[in-house]
Amino acid sequence: MSSSAPQDTGRHRLWSVDEHLADVLAAVRPLEPIELQLLDAQGCVLVEDVTVPVALPPFDNSSMDGYAVRTADVQGASEEFPAVLAVIGDVAAGSGELPTVGPGQAARIMTGAPLPPGAEAVVPVEWTDGGTGGGAASGMTPASAAPQGAAGEVRVHRAAEARAHVRSRGSDVQAGDLALAAGTVLGPPQIALLAAIGRGTVRVRPRPRVVVLSTGSELVQPGEALTAGTIYDSNSFALAAAARDAGAIAYRVGAVADDAETLRSTIEDQLIRADLLVTTGGVSVGAYDVVKEALTAAGSGDGDEPAGGGVDFRKLAMQPGKPQGFGTVGPDHTPLLALPGNPVSSYVSFELFVRPAIRTLMGLPESEVSRPGVRAVLKADEPLRSPAARRQFLRGKYDAEAGTVTPVGGSGSHLIAALAHADSLMVVPEDVTSVEPGAELEVILLG
Ligand SMILES: Nc1nc2c(c(=O)[nH]1)N[C@H]1C(S)=C(S)[C@@H](COP(=O)(O)OP(=O)(O)OC[C@H]3O[C@@H](n4cnc5c(N)ncnc54)[C@H](O)[C@@H]3O)O[C@H]1N2
Ligand code: MOO
């Protein structure tokens, strides 16, 4: 058993949302760091300070396609009185051997190419005749089509200050600088920096592998035909998507029939690829609530014993999401959250408990573990009604500009369409049974 139910409580006591969350989070630890290829590390938390091995840019280079010149040679140049320079060659990006630009000379240079010795500035091609002997050029002709562009003469129409259109070595970062500190979450810009400084791999906490398993003999996979009494399995899709959204690698296991032995063996099979298991359905008080049946059975999953037995089933003072299971299964004591089957209940439970567990496994700071909350004014025609002693989570549409939130659909745990049109959860505290229009309430943004 994972847990730490307060001493003064019996089996039938209601757990608060906060107690249950604290219990879940107390049982999950950040995953051990591993070395990953850059793209595989996207969204992960860096565990090492990364220092810059070589300055960026590594050399002075041109920010424009144009001509590398000596400033004295183009001083006072204008379209009427151009400076006429001898073109001594091309410097393309990637050029290793550079010509030296002497007095009265220019080298044709491309964006990103190293500034050749002797040159002090770059004049964009548009400020020259491009070597054509005509008016202002609009660009360069490809070298393959006009190799003569790398020789001959160029007329420069404007003066250039020293370092004009030159990106200096180290102007981005210097060798020895801290590129990224341990604890940084690697988004695309951070991955760009790591690549730019030549890192192929980085040490991060990996994405948790989350196995999502729905249960219920009534469930049919989308795309297949429904038969009498059956419905489509939406929870396993919703929760696998939510797990990915939280940062996990999600494995969706299609619906398992209501048979405790099948469920136990499916869970055992899945343990190999799970840092966290999530089930939906079968946690209530019905005769076919197999998750409860399978996982309440004796045995911790150690040795030859079946997986299961470490899961505690409890009731929470919340709506939706009252029945919940939490504990560990299998030889490695893999955490398992058993969520209720009603679609809205399972999704809300995921947001409140599974998402924080995933983000804790990822090693994210506490401030980024749960969804952000804001205060908003209720915009509705009638008051919200909420059961006493339950924290209620109603679906809403948040208007950031107006600072208001509007209910979407009712409180029914089966209202999937309303959930799909909502972007937030309106929170009605345990001691509040009615919220008047115009009153303020907490809103969790689903992002
Ligand atoms: N006598 C009582 N009955 C119920 C209670 C109670 O306290 N006493 N609690 C109710 C509450 S609250 C909830 S929430 C549900 C939880 O039930 P289970 O977790 O056992 O879930 P199921 O019975 O398997 O399913 C409930 C409902 O959701 C549909 N479902 C299940 N899985 C999926 C899925 N993957 N995709 C789409 N829909 C799914 C299922 O068909 C049922 O309609 O119990 C109440 N009952
Ligand atoms: O917990 Mo149930 O979620 O109220 O429908």
Could you tell me the CA-to-CA distances from 318 to 14, 118, 415, 446 in Å, in that order? 9, 75, 17, 18
- 217 CB under 6 A from ligand 1? no
For residue 213, give the nearest of 258, 176, 169, 177 by alpha carbon.
Answer: 258
Which residue ranges have their beta carbon within 6 Å of ligand 2? 319-322, 340, 342, 345, 413
User: Helix or strand or coil: residue 2?
Assistant: coil
Distance 340 CA to ligand 1 centre (A): 6
Centroid of chain to Cα 347: 19
Pick the ligand that lies closest to the CA of residue 313.
1
**What domains, with CATH codes, occur in the chain?**
14-31+207-368 (3.40.980.10), 35-57+181-205 (3.90.105.10), 61-167 (2.170.190.11), 373-445 (2.40.340.10)
Residue with tokens 């006072």: 76
Distance 178 CA to ligand 1 centre (A): 52
Which atom of ligand 2 approaches the CA of 323 most closely?
Answer: 1
The interface predicted TM-score (ipTM) is 0.98
- 325 CB under 6 A from ligand 1? no
Distance 325 CA to ligand 2 centre (A): 13
Distance 342 CA to ligand 2 centre (A): 7
CA–CA separation, 63 and 55 (whole Å)? 17
Please measure the distance between the N-terminal and C-terminal CA atoms of the chain and give it in whole angstroms: 33
Instruction: Give me the pLDDT at residue 426, please.
Output: 98
CA–CA separation, 56 and 192 (whole Å)? 12
Which atom of ligand 1 approaches the CA of 258 most closely?
Answer: 24
Instruction: Give me the pLDDT at residue 1, please.
Output: 33
Probe target for ligand 2 pocket from 319, 324, 395, with the most ligand atoms within 8 Å of CB: 319
Instruction: Give me the pLDDT at residue 2, please.
Output: 37
Q: Render pLDDT for 400-412 as a digit per residue (tens, 0 to 9).
A: 999 999 999 999 9
Which atom of ligand 1 approaches the CA of 341 most closely?
Answer: 21
Instruction: Give me the pLDDT at residue 10, please.
Output: 58
* Number of other CB atoms surrounding residue 10 within 10 Å: 6
Instruction: Give me the pLDDT at residue 7, please.
Output: 38
Q: Render pLDDT for 49-96 as a digit per residue (tens, 0 to 9).
A: 999 999 999 999 999 999 999 999 999 999 999 999 999 999 999 988
Return the residue whose CA atom lies nearest to atom 44 of ligand 1.
Answer: 284
Which positions of the chain have pLDDT values less than 70?
1-11, 297-309
User: Helix or strand or coil: residue 358?
Assistant: helix
